[in-house]
Amino acid sequence: MENNALRLAGLTGIVVLCAVAMGAQRPVQATLKELAAQPERYLKATVQVTGILENQGKNFFTDLRLVLKDGEGRLFPVRPWLPLSLPPRPPAPQAPSGPARQPAVLSDFLGKRVELTGIVEKGALRHAGEVYYLTVQEARLAGAEAKKK
């Protein structure tokens, strides 16, 4: 059993290294368990990971500490990629296809199951110091959350 786990870990590392070396467009599928256990293996790789996006800080506007969390309590820091809020839109005539959609803001994803695609990096994050974190390139609601939209 242990040999299988070691082989799988080795294969995962090889896939990640090949993806990084080739500049692959396709993201590496990763779990939070894998990212949290060995983030250095994914450094500079584009990964796709699913979890609940949470703010570990005390205040959304002044103490934002985003993490992706799984059902077992594992966390991975996420760099904010969207604005926290937007000013209201000025009134405009309604288009035949309906009102224009407001651009996404971070709160659209907070507290929800999301699928994030991004690059694993290492550096200083506000309120966290030097850590591995995900710089998001694409985000979407996942599972039941996506069906609610």
pLDDT band per the 50, 70, 90 thresholds, residue 5: very low
User: What residues are paired with 29 via a beta bridge?
Assistant: 48
pLDDT at 134: 97
Q: How far is it, in rounded angstroms, from Cα 61 to Cα 3? A: 47
pLDDT in tens, 42-100: 999 999 999 999 999 898 888 899 999 999 999 999 999 998 888 877 776 665 566 66
pTM: 0.73
DSSP three-state, residue 16: helix
**Which residue bears the tokens 């005539």?**
93
- 8 pLDDT more than 60: no
Give the pLDDT confidence of 86-142 residue by residue, as tens digits. Answer: 887 777 666 556 666 778 999 999 999 999 999 999 999 877 779 999 999 999 999
DSSP E strand stretches across 74-147: 75-79, 113-125, 129-141
- Top pLDDT among 60 and 12 is at 60
Q: What is the pLDDT of residue 6?
A: 44
Q: Where are the domains of the chain?
A: 2-85+104-148
Task: Please tell me the CATH code under which domain 2-85+104-148 is placed.
Answer: 2.40.50.140
User: Which pLDDT score is estimated for 13?
Assistant: 53
Identify the pLDDT of residue 63: 86
pLDDT at 146 over 90: no
